[in-house]
Amino acid sequence: MLLDQYVSTEETLRRLLRSRICTKCLARRGLDNAARKPDEVLACQAQCPIFLTLPTLTKYVDNLDSLVGSYDGVVHAVAASCPTCDGDVDWRSRHRRGCRPECPFRIYGHEVAHLLEEVGRRLHG
């Protein structure tokens, strides 16, 4: 049902994120995000870097050639320009530190990669 052929890859990912990751995400605490159905929009979605970059992640899932790289690499590459951690630059090295410790990408990145891989495998066989 989650991979209904009439549901887009992006919507499939969105539902899986909500049912597998959002349900335990620390960022939801204190928000009006009581457990709901996976197709319902959560209040924190608009500020979540995972949801904000979902169109990009979806493109990788739709097009990823397994020879090109891993989904962990995809998540790492997308998180490198994380929309909610942008500008968090180490003043000494002048390099980006990557995601802040509380960033959902930092906390759930590996699980997101698993989820992308799962959907990618079902798409491409």
- Using CB under 5 A, list all residues that contact Zn ion: 49, 82, 85, 99, 103, 105
Pick between residue 60 and residue 105 the one whose CB is nearest to Zn ion: 105
19: enclosing H helix or E strand: helix 9-20
Structure-token match 């009581």, residue found: 34
Residue number, 20 or 96, with CB nearest to Zn ion: 96
65 Cβ partners below 8 Å, 6+ apart? none
Residues near 61 by beta carbon (within 8 Å), at least 6 away in sequence:
9, 13, 116, 119, 120, 123
Pick the closer one to Zn ion by CB: 26 or 68.
26
Closest separation in Å from C-beta 77 to Zn ion: 13
Between residues 64 and 85, which has the closer beta carbon with respect to Zn ion?
85
Cβ(101)–Cβ(67) below 8 Å: no
The token pair that represents 31 in the structure block: 């928000």
